[in-house]
Amino acid sequence: MDQTAAPPTEPSWLPPRELEAVARAAQPAYDALEARLSQVHAPADVATVRKAYRFALERHGLQTRQSGDPYITHPVAVATILADINMDIAGLTTALLHDVVEDTATPLDEVRKVFGDEVARCVDGVTKLGKLKMASREERQAESVRKMLLAMVTDIRIILVKLADRLHNLRTMSALAREKQERIAEETLEIYVPIAHRLGMGKMRGQLEDLSFQLLDPEAYLQVVDQIENNRRASEGFLSGIRATVEEKLREDKVPARVEGRLKRAYSVWQKLKRQKVKIEEVYDLLAIRIITDSVKNCYAALGVIHNEWHPIPGRIKDFIAIPRPNLYQSLHTSVMGPNGQAFEVQIRTEEMHRLAEEGIAAHWKYKEGKRGSTQDDQRIGWLRQLVEWQREMRDPGDFMNTLKVDLSQTEEVYCFTPQGRVLVLPRDASPIDFAYAVHSEVGNRCVGAKVNGRIVPLKYGLRNGDVVEILTQNGHLPSRDWLSIVRTSKARNKINHYIRTVERARAIELGQKHLEREARRAGVQMARIGSEALEKVAAEYGYSKIEDLHAALGYGKFSPRQVINKAVPDLVPAAEPPKPATAQPGAVPPDDDLIITVNGMDDLLTSLAKCCNPIRGEAIVGYVTRGRGISVHSARCSHVVNLMFEAERRVPVEWTKGSTKPFLVRVRIITDDRPGMLAQFTTILGAENCNIRTLEARSADDHGDDSATVEMTIEVKDKKQLEKLQSSLRRVSGVRDIERVQ
Ligand code: MN
């Protein structure tokens, strides 16, 4: 198209005066990009890219890079790299805008208003990835980051812009501090290179590798490049002879093809030299040619031609066409013995395979412009397939399973960050408390709140992928039992439990000591007189090695202070008074209740019947050691039991003391027809059973809205059996609709 005149719809545009110099510096690179785009894209699309360029130019304004270049040169270069792999218009627009939200005061909403949802979403994605600082260098960490990147990336273009961004940054890093260069190069090798590789982007990978290699070890890099160059020169004659022969033979067999010499890249040669500990002359595939033909059939035909001419080396024939590599790479590889016993490698592939090997996933949307819906579908399927293939590459089966979980279901784990950029992997729906404990148990213990992505959230907030979590702590703050219902990780649960146990044990020790002193006073002995030796002996009798343990057991109410005193001072006259509960609760069951419960065969422990379920003789019961109130006895069916009993060590077997006849108070509610004579019938039945009525209330039940009445009574029963008998007798009275026990 005519490059000299702007399209008629385009208003003339001049950069603001102070930006003129900047615009002049960036213009040639941008013009070159636009010229290329104009050859394949519609004018309206090119205009969109131009709009993005001007927007970025204005927003970055007078910002410069470390090198001193105007900042705008960077997004233009990133877009140019992506144009090389035929990135679509939205991707190129994203590339030009990729730093405006992060590095200028431009809100994402403005990008959305001017460039639409798709571009805004991609810019947002790149911005978020940019915020990861990836602090740690551990391999495990790198793997986490890779997985996390993929879990977060909803659009493959985000990753591609990020890769191009990194590539350009590597090319222009000379102004940065040495240390920073090395850190970025290392991170590139650990994180970006594997991603490029797994996306099948051979060319991108190669460039990232060689640039990183050069930055990390300039000397080794130069040495390897030198060796490759020497080797190439030495074998130039040899290779051109081979190429000529191959071209001629292929022509004879009517296989259309181009033949090229293949240069192995510095980093991969270096890796090979290091890994195989060989000299450069011994690197097998250093001498290589590549045959690119038009069809799969001709690939095999070309292989036949090669093998007809030279002897193949056994074990070096690889058919990646029939069995593609995990990243979908396809080719035939063979090594043959050339003239003078000089071996060389041949790679054979179609144009399509070649493009795929160079560009990988980027090649997928090529030639698909204009088919929006289907293109997106295609990309999604391709992306998914890519991930599935990718998994096969993992060597460790455990690793494989983990990755599979994350990438495919994404339901098991979330990846979150500390403000310093450290990645933490947590189960889905993990809370900030889990996060705090994952950072450090002290951070967990002192956690009072959390900020997620800069905002205060409740502690029960469910963390999501990519959340940046800042834990607010306070010195002296302590974990709470409520946290146990919030946390998802066993680490947090264990730490909280451990903490609660430690604190409660300290309390129990203190309490046990007090109980013992009080009991000693009551018995008329001074604790000091008893002495630690006697106590140690008692402790040993109970199976404890320390007096402290004995105190704790007393505090938990596992046995009574009276027992201990009796054992410690055997010749003491037994106290006349039965022990009173140390901390009797208002409304607690009277002390003589403990005579009806036997704990571990002992019947003089402080026990109380739990109010919530009020168990009666004959019912299955369990004991729960409370803090300072002895053993609380629940019905085994009590709903609290299930909740309370998670601390197995506080659960004690209890049973009803045999021979005790103490009655139990039970409250029953009877719903009945509202007619005279009902109460008389009830009292008669109870009287016949020798059952005392303690209280009785009857009311006409307006709450039923009919002619019913409610009778509630508290009665004394011997046991469960008697209660059941009474209930069935009462139920048989004509007019009774329902009977229930009230807790
Ligand atoms: Mn950038």
Query: Contact, 585 vs 629, CB < 8 A?
Result: yes
Q: What is the DSSP letter of 675?
A: -
Cα–Cα dist 75/55, whole Å: 11
Maximum mean pLDDT: which of 492-506, 557-571, 577-591, 633-647: 492-506
What is the rounded CA–CA span in Å between residue 73 and residue 54?
12
Q: Cα separations (Å) of 491 from 310, 428, 495, 618?
A: 63, 15, 6, 41
Tokens of 708: 């019913």
Task: Supply the residues annotated as catalytic.
Answer: 102-103
Specify the pLDDT at position 367. 36
Greater confidence (699 vs 370) lies with: 699
- Residue 79, classed as helix, strand or coil, is helix
Report the pLDDT value the prediction gives residue 437, as an integer from 0 to 100.
94
Going by pLDDT thresholds of 50, 70 and 90, the confidence category of residue 377 is very low
d(CA 612, CA 642): 13
Q: What's at 174, amino acid-wise?
A: S
Checking if the pLDDT of 392 tops 60, the result is: no
Query: Residues 263-269: contacts with CB within 8 Å, 24+ apart?
Result: 263/228, 263/232, 264/228, 264/288, 265/206, 265/209, 265/210, 266/210, 266/213, 266/214, 266/221, 266/224, 266/225, 266/228, 267/206, 267/209, 267/210, 267/212, 267/213, 268/206, 268/209, 269/224, 269/227, 269/228
User: What confidence tier does 406 reach under pLDDT thresholds 50, 70, 90?
Assistant: very low
Q: Which residues contact 610 (CB under 8 A, 6 or more apart)?
A: 632, 633, 634, 635, 638, 640
CA of 608 to the centre of ligand 1 (A): 70
Least confident of 17-21, 54-58, 218-222: 17-21
Least confident range from 219-233, 689-703, 723-737: namely 689-703
**DSSP element (H, E) containing 715:** strand 708-717
CB 310 within 8 A of CB 338: yes
> Taking residues 679-684, what's their average pLDDT?
84
* Confidence (pLDDT) at 402: 40
> Is the pLDDT reported for residue 743 higher than 80?
no
pLDDT band, residue 302 (cuts 50/70/90)? very high
For residue 117, the CA-to-ligand 1 centroid distance in Å is 21
Could you read off the pLDDT of 195-220 as tens digits, one per residue?
Answer: 787 777 888 999 999 999 999 999 99
Q: Where are the beta strands (DSSP E) in 58-101?
A: none
- Please give the average per-residue pLDDT across 49-60, as a whole number: 94
DSSP codes joined into one string, 488-518: -SHHHHHHHHHHHHHHHHHHHHHHHHHHHHH
Q: Which band of pLDDT confidence, cut at 50, 70 and 90, is reported for residue 690?
A: confident
Give the C-alpha separation, 740 to 391, whole Å.
Answer: 61
Amino acid at residue number 595: L
Strand partners, 350: 293
The more confident residue out of 196 and 182 is 182
* pLDDT at residue 48, as a whole number: 95
What's the gap in Å between 63 CA and the centre of ligand 1?
A: 13
Query: pLDDT tens, 592-634?
Result: 444 567 776 665 567 778 888 888 888 888 888 776 667 788 8
Q: Give the residue among 648, 716, 712 at the shortest CA–CA distance from 687.
A: 716
By the 8 A CB rule, do 432 and 450 touch?
yes
Q: pLDDT band for position 577 (50/70/90)? A: very low
CB 445 within 8 A of CB 499: yes
Other beta carbons within 10 angstroms of residue 644's beta carbon come to 18
**Predicted confidence band of residue 572 (pLDDT cuts 50, 70, 90):** low
- Apex CA 154: angle with CA 134 and CA 359, to 5°? 80
Cβ–Cβ < 8 Å for 330, 353: yes
pLDDT tens for 478-533 read 888 889 888 988 888 888 888 888 887 888 888 888 888 888 887 777 777 777 88
pLDDT score at 94: 95
Q: Is residue 132 a contact partner of residue 419, using CB atoms and an 8 Å limit?
A: no
- Is it the case that residue 364 has pLDDT exceeding 70? no
The pLDDT tens digits of the residues spanning 537-568 come to: 888 888 888 888 888 888 877 778 888 888 88
Residue identified by tokens 């219902």 is: 485
Distance 102 CA to ligand 1 centre (A): 9
How many degrees, rounded to 5, is the angle at CA 741 between CA 740 and CA 743? 135
pLDDT value of residue 591: 39
Taking the CA atoms of residue 423, residue 427, residue 429 and residue 430 in that order, the dihedral angle to the nearest 10 degrees is -60
Tell me which residue of 511, 564, 563 sits closest to 534, measured CA to CA.
564
- For 239, residues 6+ apart whose C-beta sits below 8 A from its C-beta are 261, 287, 289, 344
pLDDT at 80 over 90: yes
Closest CA relative to residue 307, chosen from 333, 284, 325? 333
- 139 versus 539: the higher-pLDDT residue is 539
Q: What's the 53 CA to ligand 1 centre distance in angstroms?
A: 14
Rounded CA-CA distance 551/405 in Å is 49
**Can you list the pairs that 48-52 forms with residues at least 24 positions away whose Cβ atoms lie under 8 Å?**
48/89, 48/93, 48/115, 49/79, 49/89, 49/92, 49/93, 49/96, 50/10, 51/114, 51/115, 52/92, 52/93, 52/96, 52/97, 52/115, 52/119
pLDDT for res 405: 33
CA of 109 to the centre of ligand 1 (A): 20
Q: Provide the pLDDT for residue 573.
A: 55
Which residue type is seen at 276? Answer: Q
Q: Which of 160-169, 293-302, 362-371 has the lowest mean pLDDT?
A: 362-371
362 neighbors 333 (Cβ within 8 angstroms): no
Measure 372 CA to ligand 1 centroid, in angstroms: 28
Task: Determine how β-strand 621-625 pairs with β-strand 651-652.
Answer: antiparallel
Q: How far is the CA of 129 from the centre of ligand 1 (A)?
A: 11
What's the pLDDT band for 674 if we cut at 50, 70, 90? Answer: confident
For ligand 1, the distance from its centroid to the CA atom of residue 74, given in whole angstroms, is 7
User: What's the mean per-residue pLDDT of the chain?
Assistant: 79
Phi (first) and psi of residue 741, to 5 degrees: -85, 135
CB 168 within 8 A of CB 84: no
pTM (whole model) above 0.75: no
- Higher-confidence residue of 594 and 58: namely 58
pLDDT of 371 reads: 38
pLDDT of residue 623: 84
CA–CA separation, 32 and 171 (whole Å): 19
